[in-house]
Amino acid sequence: MSIITRLSQMFSSSESKDVLGLSIRQHSLTYTVVGDDKSIQCKKIDLPPEHLCSELESLSNKHSLEGQCHLILNAKQNQIVQVDKPNVPDAEINAALKWQIKDLVSISPEEMIIDYYDGPKLAGGVEKINVVCATKSELKPFVESLINTDVSLKTITTEEFAFTCLLPVKDDACLLICQQPDEEMNLIIVKQGRLYFQRRLRGLAKIAQKSEDELSMGTIDSLSLEIQRSTDYFERQLKQAPIRSIEVLVPMKNEAFLARKLSENTNVPVNIFSMPEPFSKHRAFAVSVGATMLSNNESLG
């Protein structure tokens, strides 16, 4: 199944073999195009939220974009909650989930577009699933804006899954602290190419503007506490082997300082995350880069 609702059947197929990762940020659009000839193009388009849809409509003509598109929603466009897996046939799970999560999210059941991904079993064999929920009326204009372009929408996903695609598949679990510039920070744990845990850290969208002194005055300690809570849950509640590495992907001037200070608060090695080749120069486009890898990542969904 898809990460969130697949809408590819709504669109005509495109002959182009280019792959497009298109990220909707709060005040901009960013995209990465990986051409059939292995060329790479990354761009950020700054514009107010009310102009985002009109910009999508002009993607083909103004920016010469075409190909298979993976659209990434920002944190304010979707909500993720974890619940017990409904005891119903698989075909009926989505319908059951709308009423199961109605008191956990701020979206009415009639407005929900949902999908889910399985979570690891908790201690005692309790089976959980993670439900991704978006608002139909908010999402529809973005989808409709792409209908008459040369872009063929294949999936709609979230930042967490796009970041997950960047990590190499390893048996040891990795905790990734990751962020798009000027967006909220994410903390994810990935093992064997699978997203085991995700946490959205509010209030850190402007962390890149902080000096080293400002980072040291509470920000790093708060982030270290969130890391500790997340690793404790992963190891104790999910009964998983300890985290072997912590990677930092927070494109900003003081990224190395942030990683060094975090390493002082943990016994696990903390490293600056290396983007996969040939994307080493495109750290600020990590989400749209990761989305271009969705087609080849069979661990998701």
Mind listing the pLDDT tens digit for each residue in 184-219? 999 999 999 999 999 999 889 999 999 999 999 999
Q: Structural domain of residue 177, as residue ranges? A: 167-274
Structure tokens at 254: 């003081």
- Cα–Cα dist 205/179, whole Å: 8
How many structural domains are present in the chain? 2
* Reported confidence tier of residue 123, pLDDT bands at 50, 70, 90: low
Tell me: do 226 and 282 sit in the same domain.
no
Exposed/middle/buried for 278, CB within 10 Å: 0-12, 13-18, 19+?
Answer: exposed
Instruction: Let me know whether 267 and 207 are in one domain.
Output: yes
Q: What is the pLDDT of residues 263-295, one digit of tens each?
A: 999 889 999 999 998 999 999 999 999 999 986
In this structure, the answer to whether residues 161 and 260 fall within a common structural domain is no
Quick one: 214 and 79 in the same domain? no
Question: Which residues, 6+ apart, have CB-to-CB distance to 273 below 8 Å?
Answer: 166, 176, 178, 247, 248, 249
Strand partners, 198: 188
With CA atoms as reference, report the closest residue to 265 among 232, 227, 229: 227
Res 295: pLDDT: 61
- Look at 59-63, 113-117, 148-152, 267-271 and tell me which has the smallest mean pLDDT: 59-63
Specify the higher pLDDT residue, 166 or 10.
166
Residues 58 and 196 in one domain: no
Which of the two residues, 1 and 182, has the higher pLDDT score? 182
Q: Could you tell me if 137 and 285 lie in one domain?
A: yes
Contact (CB, 8 A) for 171 and 148: no
Calculate the average pLDDT of the chain: 88
34: phi then psi, degrees, rounded to nearest 5: -105, 110
In the chain, what percentage of residues exceed pLDDT 70?
91
C-alpha distances (whole Å) from 103 to each of 126, 197, 271 are: 21, 22, 39
Number of CB atoms found within 10 A of residue 291's CB: 30
Residue (of 241, 246, 244) closest to 223 by Cα position: 246
How do residues 213-252 score in pLDDT, each as one tens digit?
A: 999 999 999 999 999 999 999 998 888 999 989 999 999 9
CATH label of the domain that carries residue 178:
3.30.420.40
pLDDT of residue 16: 76
Asked if residue 2 has pLDDT above 70, the reply is no
* pLDDT(4) > 70: no
Res. 260: pLDDT tops 70 = yes
Half-sphere exposure of 5 (CA within 13 A, CB side): 16
Buried b (16+ CB within 10 A) or exposed e, 226-256: ebeebbebbeeebebeebeebbbbbbbebbe
Of 200, 65, 73, give the one whose Cα is nearest residue 143: 73
pLDDT for res 9: 41
Q: Could you tell me if 3 and 152 lie in one domain?
A: yes
pLDDT score, position 128: 85
CB atoms within 10 A of CB 31: 25
Percent of the chain with pLDDT over 90: 66
Same domain flag for 46 and 62 = yes
Q: What is the CATH number of the domain that holds 286?
A: 3.30.420.380
Q: pLDDT confidence of 124, banded at 50, 70, 90?
A: low
145 and 279 co-located in one domain? yes
